[in-house]
Copies of this chain bind each other. A is one copy, B any other.
Amino acid sequence: MNDARVARVMTNLEARGLKQMFICDPMSIKWLSGYYTMPMERFFGLLLVAGENPLMFCNRLFPDASDACNNIVLFDDTDNPIPLLAQHCLHDQTLGIDKELVAKWLLPLMDSKAAANYVLASSAVDDARSIKDEAEKQAMRVASTTNDKAMEWLRSQVKAGVTELSIAERLLGEYRRLGAQDHSFDPIVSFGANAADPHHEPDNTVLQDGQIVLFDVGCKQDDYCSDMTRTFWFAGEKNIEPDDLSYRVYETVRKANEAAEAIVRPGVTFAEIDKAARDVIAAQGWGEYFTHRLGHQIGLVDHEPGDVSSTHDEPVQAGQIFSIEPGIYIPGKVGVRIEDLLIVTKDGCEILNSYPKEFTILH
């Protein structure tokens, strides 16, 4: 159990008027305790109660957690874990609830009168997780350095006749050669008009001369995630020049990315950062084609709470790590996205990706 992290969460709970919380997000439990398991359909969680040791609830089928936690309630598949949890809650107090707790457990817990009331309290954990400590920042730098190298490899795979899937499927091998353990998310490889779907899944599309090539990829290394997007122009043997629209869209996205990164420092709000990029795109008349938030926080998980969007009015804080990933998606025509990760520093930010962003023509 990482006592410093538990204390930060307890402080956040107290600030919300809460004396107890049930946490079930496996990554939050890993962050707090060092113990990780994927419980799937089985019950798993960590109960924090003011003044008590954290109490972990584990199915006996899970890997042994006793190295991470000295206070564990064990149960079998044939046990009902809800009364076990309920008996350890303060019945006359509100219980903070993890936003990921599924109805399968939450509704019976509420029926069991475990607590006086139930409120979402994940922000107490998420806010603590959002501010990375030095070890976490260093792991994030390493993962992004690997991702920069992987982008160089991806670029070297761009040749006539290759398919999206064939590149995507070989990326994991390259990540492992570079020291990473896994993808941090399913890689996106998009050729031509496929890039206009921001969530395109790599398929058997064959690369043609004169197409856009978009890579949105990330790895996990020492448990921390990287995430970067670069977009290229493939001229091929026919040496097809980029069309004017693709070039202008690219340059607009690049400027939007740089405009947003330029204003990041403590005190600026997430919404202001989103707006800095969105304004650049809207000024070219393409506002309606930037269909998603500007970015997301990242760490042990590729998408962590607290997004960089127009509705998130909180100021950014030193130690937070998030993506800046503006895009323009004109259906059937062109799609471009450019994404970096950055760490907020005390007077600006440290950009974790150094892979170039200049418009680049490949042959």
Contacts of A311 in B (CB 8 A): 78
User: Do A291 and B97 have beta carbons less than 8 Å apart?
Assistant: no
Quick check: is A243 within 8 A (CB to CB) of the other chain?
no
Q: Which residue of B lies closest to A37 (CB)?
A: B199
Knowing A102-B102, A303-B40, A309-B78, the reply to whether A61 touches B107 (Cβ < 8 A) is no
Residues of chain A from 192 to 223 with CB closer than 8 A to chain B in the complex = 197-199
Contacts of A292 in B (CB 8 A): 61, 77
Knowing A98-B103, A118-B107, A122-B104, the reply to whether A303 touches B41 (Cβ < 8 A) is yes
How many angstroms between the C-alpha atoms of A77 and B292 in the bound complex?
7
Contacts of A99 in B (CB 8 A): 102-104
Quick check: is A120 within 8 A (CB to CB) of the other chain?
yes
A: interface residue count bin: 35 or more
Quick check: is A128 within 8 A (CB to CB) of the other chain?
no
Contacts of A106 in B (CB 8 A): 103, 106-107
User: Do A102 and B104 have beta carbons less than 8 Å apart?
Assistant: no
Q: Which residue of B lies closest to A201 (CB)?
A: B63
Quick check: is A346 within 8 A (CB to CB) of the other chain?
no
Contacts of A122 in B (CB 8 A): 104
Residues of chain A from 25 to 79 with CB closer than 8 A to chain B in the complex = 40-41, 60-63, 76-78
Knowing A61-B198, A292-B61, the reply to whether A309 touches B77 (Cβ < 8 A) is yes
Chain A interface residues (CB < 8 Å from chain B) = 40-41, 60-63, 76-78, 97-104, 106-108, 118-120, 122, 197-199, 291-293, 303, 307, 309-311
Smallest CB-CB A-B distances: 5 pairs? A99-B104, A101-B103, A97-B103, A78-B311, A100-B102
Query: Can you list 28 A-B pairs, Cβ within 8 angstroms, ordered by A?
Result: A40-B303, A60-B291, A61-B198, A61-B199, A61-B291, A61-B292, A76-B291, A77-B293, A77-B307, A77-B309, A78-B293, A78-B309, A97-B103, A99-B104, A100-B102, A100-B103, A100-B104, A101-B102, A101-B103, A102-B102, A103-B106, A103-B120, A104-B120, A104-B122, A106-B106, A106-B107, A107-B120, A108-B120
